[in-house]
Chain A
Amino acid sequence: MSDDQEYYAGIDIGSAFIKAVLIDQKQIVAYEIFSSGGSYNETAKRVLDQALSKGRASLDQLSGIVVTGIGAESAPFQARQFSDISCQAAGCRSLFPSARIVIDIGGQFTRAIKLTPQGRVANFLMSEKCATGSGRFLQVIARILQIKIEDIGLLSLKSQSPVEFSTNCAVFAESETISRIAEGARLEDILAGVHHALAAKVAMLVKRLKMEQDVVLTGGGGEDAGLVSAVGEALGVDVLVPQQPRLTAALGAAMLAKEEKPKTR
């Protein structure tokens, strides 16, 4: 690696995790992800340092840094800011140039972004008012069932007859889950029921944007195979999922740092 190599970093400062992606002119060089902890400022610095050291690069070699996410304001270094919508779109577009709908299912809310055929953000919608529309619903039910969140995807795929919840409220679904367990419902059927309910909410969001293909599912929800399958079923398409769904916004931030590089240095 020569000294005049140019690098770009994207940092996504989220409420649960801080992610950094380092790219050069051609490809992803390194990435890092840490729990956000008590100080966004300190963790963001550690995440970037770690990504740089993994990529054997130094801060001086960075030609651009873009930060995004809820904590973007607290970035401890000189960086430009882009909205998480722009970054998410840029990241998914770079991995899947055919993407027209990007669904980001996070722990607190779900976003659906519509892209133009050229890959620009045309419109977006958020579901943030109700836990049933987000990964939080899964967390609530997983806690009742005493199952690790990372295990629920594969378990749910085993379901033969998913439970149909009579409610769309995560709190009521929690009590319904308890009654279903008492009635002898299988764990996988309950989980598949939760996936279906969540997927229905997500599909509503996408339909309001008007569905287009291809569809990319990213964010923590992209790591849940049961949810991916349920969303695909609800939309009637095969859903594309990045290899590292949690990193797409940080990747997009790095892409934007490269694309929108100031002309003069």
Chain B
Amino acid sequence: MPFGGVDIGSTMTKAVIIDGQGKMMASVIGPTGAEHRHLALAVMDQTIEKTNLSFDQLDFIVATGYGRINVPFADKQITEITCHARGIRALFPTARIIIDIGGQDSKGIKLDAEGKVMNFIMNDKCAAGTGRFLEVIAETLGIKLTEIGELSLKAKGYVRISNTCTVFAEHEVTTRLTEGATIPEILAGLHEAFAGRVVNMVRSLGIEKDMVVTGGGAMNIGLIKAIEEKVGFPVRVPPEPLLTGAFGAALMGKDLLARGITPERERRLEGVTFFK
């Protein structure tokens, strides 16, 4: 009884297949392109290939993420808030706050003791609170996004970045460099500023000690440390932070089937129009 989950994020598309026990069998991560539906299919195909299964053998396929409407082969679309909550609670059964730092948005989700979503908050209006902020600055500094976390930990202190706006911060960073600040100090300053924004966002939900950080941002150890500094306690990070949404989507399919709900219509692999 395998289940599929596909999460079309603004930057990355992720697919996960789980078995009947909810264990992850395979996963694939690919960049989100302009042509969502082809890409979702390609990523799902690759994931299926890894398991030696076929499309028809998946009992349920659930799509999530901001591009979920463009997944013609999905049996159901479920919001990423619900899917993240489901995926995270499977990994961390006591989690009460989830921070998801994505490429073009960030979210805070509050769960009750049973794992039900009580409230959530989202920033997709301004790049400053999203992964995009770090991506832009890393590019300005000529450093790979995957390296800035470790690099920032080498700093003894940090350079305060006073501009919120990514565009202005980009300029501020180059000014600080010419003033003699080191790259690790600047990166530490960026993480400090970024963590402050994310934690402030979550503060409006009410901070709880069982906190999980997920999404691409969770792969940045410097950012995680900065968030821990802001909240004053350790946070937890899933082993594969990019996959929690897709993993949760697959689990939602398993839950649906357990409640006797089966896919309503035939899966379409082609011919779906864009929402526009």
Contacts and interface: CB of A to CB of B under 8 A. Distances in A.
A50 interface: no
Contacts, number: 36
B104 A136 contact: no
A129 interface: yes
B165 A131 contact: yes
Interface stretch (A62-70, A163-171, A190-198): A163-171
Given A167-B125, A169-B127, A172-B104, A130 B165 contact: yes
Interface string A149-171: 00000000000000000011111
For B132, B164, B168, which residue has the most chain A Cβ atoms within 10 angstroms?
B168
A170 B125 contact: no
Contacts of B168: 108, 131, 136
Interface in B102-156: 104, 125-127, 132-133, 136
B8 to A, nearest CB: 15
Interface in B159-201: 164-168
B34 interface: yes
A170 B132 contact: no
A14 to B, nearest CB: 15
Nearest to A183: B34
Nearest to A139: B167
Binding site secondary structure of chain A: helix
Contact of B34 (A130, A140, A179): A179
Interface string A125-140: 0000111000011001
A58 B166 CA distance: 46
A137 B136 CA distance: 15
Contact of A129 (B127, B133, B136, B164): B164
A174 to B, nearest CB: 9
A140 B127 CA distance: 14
Contacts of B133: 171
B34 A169 contact: no
Contacts of B166: 131, 169-171
Nearest to A178: B34
A123 to B, nearest CB: 24
Nearest to A171: B127
A136 B132 contact: no
Nearest to A137: B167
A131 B165 CA distance: 6
Contacts of B167: 131, 136-137, 140, 170-171
Contacts of A136: 167-168
Interface of B: 34, 104, 125-127, 132-133, 136, 164-168
Interface of A: 108, 129-131, 136-137, 140, 167-172, 179, 182
| A-B complex: 4 closest residue pairs judged by Cβ atoms | A171-B127, A131-B167, A171-B166, A169-B126
5 contacts: A129-B164, A130-B165, A131-B168, A168-B125, A171-B166
